[in-house]
Structures are given as C-alpha cells and as structure tokens.
Structure 1
Amino acid sequence: MAPPPDRTGLRNAAIFDLDRTITRRGTFTPFLLSVRAQGPARFALFARFLPHMALYKTGRLSRTTLKNRMLAMALGGFEREEIAAHADRFVAQIMTDGLHADALAAIARHRAAGDMLILATASVDFYARLFAERLGFDHCIASPTDFDAARDAPPQITGENCYGLAKRAMVDAQLEALCGADRAKLNIAFYTDHISDLPLLESADAPYVVNPKPALRAHAQKADWPICSWIAQGGKA
C-alpha cells in the first residue's frame, strides 16, 4: 500500500511495531534462549521461565516484572560485552531469514518517499536498536534498560515497558521532542499486528493492521482500517 499523502508539507512519519509485524516471530524469549547452547541448557532455561509466565497469564505479575525476571535468569553472569555480542548475532540471524518481505517493502516505500521512520517496540532497547539501525530507521523507541554498576549484573527494564498506553505515550513524547509545535500537523502511518497497539492505531492518520488475530481483525474491520497479509522472506508463512 502507498504511504499516506503529504497534506502539510512536513515530513511524514511511518511507525512500525517490530515483533510479528516486521519479524515473523516474537523476539524477546527467543533472544534470551539464544544465549544458551542448543539442547538441554535451553530447555532448562525455558523451564525456569514457565512458572513466571504462568503468574503473568493469571494476572499476578506485571509484564515489566516478568521481563525483568526473565532477563535476570537468562543474562545473569554475562558481562555487558558478551550480551552485546549475543544480541548482534541474534539480530543478524533474524535479518537473514526471520523477517516479513512485505514489511521490508513497506519500509522501503516510506524511505523512498522521504518519510521519517520510527521503530516502536516493547522489545528491550539494546537489541531493538540493532534492528532499527540495520533496517534503516531514523529513531527507535523501545523498553529502556540499564545495567547495574557490577559488570555481571543483568540488564533490567527501567521505567515503563513500551507496551499499550505506555507505548503511545512514549511515541507521543518522541514526536513532540522531534517536531515541537508542528507535531499536530504530522501525518503518521502506523503498522502493527497486535491489539495492544490500539491506542497508536486510533491516533494514526493511516493505521495498518498486519496479519491480525481475530480480535484485532474484527476491530479493524469495524473501523475500516486496511488489513495487510504479509508474507515472510522466501515466501514462508
């Protein structure tokens, strides 16, 4: 689909979610598992995640707390440089065969139109930034992390997990910082697969729903939003 028309003379903005919008699969848990060798070590780590995931599913744990516990279990004992190297390898692998080809085409169209490209994701910042850089985005908005002064302390999310209403607020703050008084005139296209992004979809000039699950599909049909069926690199589902 073509980018929205430029009604203002300002640079338009195209905002993309990452997981299952640009990528074929989620990235957070696969990244954490990737730091362990194939086989028993990965199974053991995933088994440690499961009780905490169950607490989250039953509403007894926040998303931020869940992610921080998983970060601690997976990355505790690794130095910052080791984590950065793991992140680089993980992103390189996903870039090879883990993206939607149609997402790459949409990004290229917006880039060719001169639009400002923004990646907005609940993924943690230290690997989300690598995706943004390699995909040619101008800005990256992600869940912010910090490393403790101790070199082997795992990264933890500081502040808001970039999800739902918090994601909308973080995007709004970034656009306000970039555009100032011209923020209200900016034309914004937004692409996502997930119903948690309804706050951003509802605020966008051109909302695009990508490979939605039934709840988001029904909402998109009611709102008359375009629904995109994107395929992966090599035509994979």
Structure 2
Amino acid sequence: MQRIAIYDLDRTITRAPTWTPFLLHAARGRWRMAMAPVAAGAALLHALRLYDRDRLKPIMHRLMLGGALDEAELTLLAEAFAATTDASNIRSGARARMAADRAAGYRIVIATAAHRFYAQAIASRLGVEDLIATEATRDASGRILPLLAGPNCYGAAKLAMIETWFNDQDIARRHAHVRFYSDHPSDAPTFAWADEPVVVSPGKRMAALASAQGWRVERW
C-alpha cells in the first residue's frame, strides 16, 4: 500500500495566496506595475462573478507579465519569489506536518491552482518533487504565454488532474492510502475522494462543511 499525502498550496501550506503577490513581485520596478489597478479591476469583476477563474488568470498574466516571457527570466523571478515565500509565508504547521508525513513514509505531493512556472520553485524549497499545477502555454521559442495549457487546477479539475497524475505514475488508486490537506470548499471533490481528508485552518464556510462531512480539522 503506497502512502500519498497531497497538499494544497495557497492558504494551506502558505498563510496568504501567492498568485497576485507573484505578479506584483515580477512587475516591481517595471512599467507594468502601472497595470496593477487594471488587474485589481479584473479581479473585482471575477468577484462579482462576471467571469470565471480560467478567464481571470490569463487576463492578469497578460497585464502584469506581458504577452510572452523568456523562461530564463521567469526562472529568476520565480526563484526570488520562492525565497521570499519560504522566509515569510509558509505556515510552521505545514512544515511540521510534511516532516511527520515523510517520517511516516508518505510521498508528498502539492496540488495547486498556482502556475507551475513559480509554484515549482516554492515546492523545491519545501523539498517536494511532485507537483500538480496549472500549466501555461508556450510559444515555439519556449516563452511562456498568458493562455492556459489545459484547465486551471481548481475544484473538480484538480481532482481530475490528480487522477491523471496517479495514472502517469502507475499508482493504482485501490493500492494507495491518500491524505489530502486543504483549506478551501472548492476542494470538496478531492476531500470526498481521499481516504483521509484534513481541513486546514478553515474559514467559516469550510468549517461548516467539515463539520457536516465529519472531516478532521487541523489549525496550522
């Protein structure tokens, strides 16, 4: 029986979200910082449910990062952002839980709606090799474009991507014990699929769902 511990990233491992802070980090000191109010307006329209996350993410990407970004430049930005995140935005409880899971023989996986192009650097700093994340389209030169390559790794799509990862890793679900950690109701499909759902530092809505479903709650 393989032991797999899957962690959400934003507000589960981290205290605060990472996408907007990464965009601001990347734009800082450049003229694109002037686009921040426009990006904030786009986020407000999403909050008003005028369009979904799959549409919002490319819009904010184009505004704050541009139409195409060289991978080498993006890697430098991601590494610097990951260093800041590691220093100031990682829950101590998340570090302790990952250490305990490793000691118990669990394979650690991060499954996140964050873009791989920066989430990989955060995962690496946490000693996590397995990452399931939102993917960006690339042009013929390998530059990263605003368009998503596949679904945003969120909600039911996250579970589908986890299942694809299991297939790619040749792991039979019936032969695995899965712990899943997240803070957010959008992860209800994966909580229900996991053998051991763990709700992390939930807000009011998530706490109510955890209580109704009998899911364990931990406060990190």
TM-score by length of 1: 0.86
The aligned residue for residue 61 of structure 1 is: 51
> Secondary structure in 1 aligned to 2:41?
helix
Between the aligned partners of 1:31 and 1:45, the Cα distance in structure 2 is: 14
What is the percentage of aligned positions where both structures have the same residue? 35
The aligned residue for residue 88 of structure 1 is: 79
> Secondary structure in 1 aligned to 2:27?
coil
Q: Does 1:142 align with 2:133?
A: yes
Q: Does 1:219 align with 2:203?
A: no
The aligned residue for residue 194 of structure 1 is: 184
Q: 1:176 to 1:40 in 2, by over 3 A?
A: closer
Between the aligned partners of 1:165 and 1:191, the Cα distance in structure 2 is: 15
Q: Which amino acid aligns with 2:112?
A: T
State the Cα distance separating 1:72 from its structure 2 match: 0.9
Q: Which amino acid aligns with 2:61?
A: L
Between the aligned partners of 1:153 and 1:170, the Cα distance in structure 2 is: 21
Q: Does 1:128 align with 2:119?
A: yes
Q: Which amino acid aligns with 1:72?
A: R
State the Cα distance separating 1:173 from its structure 2 match: 1.2
> Secondary structure in 1 aligned to 2:206?
helix
Report how many aligned residue pairs link the two structures. 219
Q: Which of 147, 150, 172 in structure 2 is aligned with 1:159? A: 150
Q: Report if the CA contact (8 A) 1:75-1:83 is conserved.
A: no
Gaps (5+ residues) in structure 1?
1-9, 231-237
Q: Does 1:48 align with 2:20?
A: no
> Secondary structure in 2 aligned to 1:187?
strand
> Secondary structure in 2 aligned to 1:146?
strand
**Structure with the higher strand share, 1 or 2:** 2
Q: Report if the CA contact (8 A) 2:136-2:145 is conserved.
A: no
Q: Report if the CA contact (8 A) 1:32-1:74 is conserved.
A: yes
Q: Which of 175, 185, 196 in structure 1 is aligned with 2:166? A: 175
TM-superposition CA deviations, 1:102-123 (whole Å, max 9, x none)? 0000001111122111100000
- Report 1:11-50 matches (<5 A): 11-37=2-28, 42=33, 44-50=34-40
Between the aligned partners of 1:217 and 1:49, the Cα distance in structure 2 is: 31
Between the aligned partners of 1:125 and 1:39, the Cα distance in structure 2 is: 23
> Secondary structure in 2 aligned to 1:179?
coil
State the Cα distance separating 1:153 from its structure 2 match: 6.2
> Secondary structure in 1 aligned to 2:151?
coil
TM-score by length of 2: 0.92
Between the aligned partners of 1:151 and 1:11, the Cα distance in structure 2 is: 36
Q: Which amino acid aligns with 1:21?
A: T
Q: Which of 161, 185, 191 in structure 1 is aligned with 2:175? A: 185
Q: Which of 194, 203, 209 in structure 2 is aligned with 1:204? A: 194
